Structure 1
Amino acid sequence: MPISFTSSRISLLKREIADIQQRIGNDKIKIGKALAKIKQLQKDIKRGPLSADVSSKESQLKKLDSEVNRLTDAQTELTKQLSVKNAELRQQLAKSQEQKQQPNKQEQ
């Protein structure tokens, strides 16, 4: 495989890894905000048990809980993707090192 192909593949993998890491970070922030909102809604329900208000807040709790579950599943998938990309990057970096050393071996 030519060195230029390997180096462009390495660059692409680094960009993909950075993108996945950013998505993981963004999702963690969203999860944190949703959990904080859930906690606040639970406190509000305990404080003022008006039936119409409670029903609305319970509905919001369900929606937020579902969002947290969805984001947690997405985090799991992104973490798997990140592991695969990191492994591929290590492999490509090793190939690149090997390709750089091959011309030196041929000169000897």
Structure 2
Amino acid sequence: MAERVIKYPNDGEVKVKWSGFQMGMVVVPTAAIWSMFFLWPSAAEPHLLKTVLSISGLNVDIVGVVVASLKAPYFGAFSDGGELEFKREAADRKAFQTGMVLVGIGFFLQAISVLL
């Protein structure tokens, strides 16, 4: 039986990975929301700016939540004193923080639309 060799990843390989499900969670709602907006434009005409800001904020929120949920893959156990795990945690933290910033921007856009 052939022995499986696990390769230690370089720093560029330690990053979060997008799955098909996560891509779908961004693409499908975005396509649905904006297609409805353009299919029924008469509903948005009186308050076009408010509607665009609200929908844009919602879209940014969706993307932010998905980005915050991204995780770096597990590469295996190596005798490196946990250095690889620290790199994985840093990649996860960066994705989470980026996602939360996006969520905050989305909430801000929605708040502006309510105030107008």
- Structure 1 length normalisation: TM-score? 0.51
Give RMSD over aligned pairs.
2.8
Q: Which amino acid aligns with 1:59?
A: K
Counterpart of 1:62 (choices 77, 90, 93) is: 90
1:87 positional shift: 2.3
Q: Which amino acid aligns with 1:72?
A: M
Q: Deviations over 1:22-81 (max 9, x none)?
A: 11111111212x2xx26x64xx67xx24217x4233213212202211321331232122
Runs of 4+ in structure 1 off by over 3 angstroms are none
| Equivalent-residue separation in structure 2 for 1:79 and 1:16 (angstroms) | 10
| Equivalent-residue separation in structure 1 for 2:53 and 2:109 (angstroms) | 10
- Which residue of 2 is the match for residue 104 of structure 1? none
| Equivalent-residue separation in structure 1 for 2:86 and 2:56 (angstroms) | 35
SS at match of 1:51: coil
Q: Which amino acid aligns with 1:30?
A: V
Structure having the higher helix fraction is 1
- Which residue of 2 is the match for residue 76 of structure 1? 104
| Equivalent-residue separation in structure 2 for 1:83 and 1:15 (angstroms) | 12
> Using CA pairs below 8 Å that are at least 6 residues apart, which structure has the higher relative contact order?
1
| Equivalent-residue separation in structure 2 for 1:74 and 1:26 (angstroms) | 7
Q: Which amino acid aligns with 2:101?
A: D
Q: Which amino acid aligns with 1:50?
A: S
For this pair of structures, how many residues does the alignment match?
Answer: 73
| Equivalent-residue separation in structure 1 for 2:102 and 2:113 (angstroms) | 16
- Which residue of 1 is the match for residue 67 of structure 2? 30
- Please tell me whether Structure 1 or Structure 2 has the larger radius of gyration of its CA atoms: 1
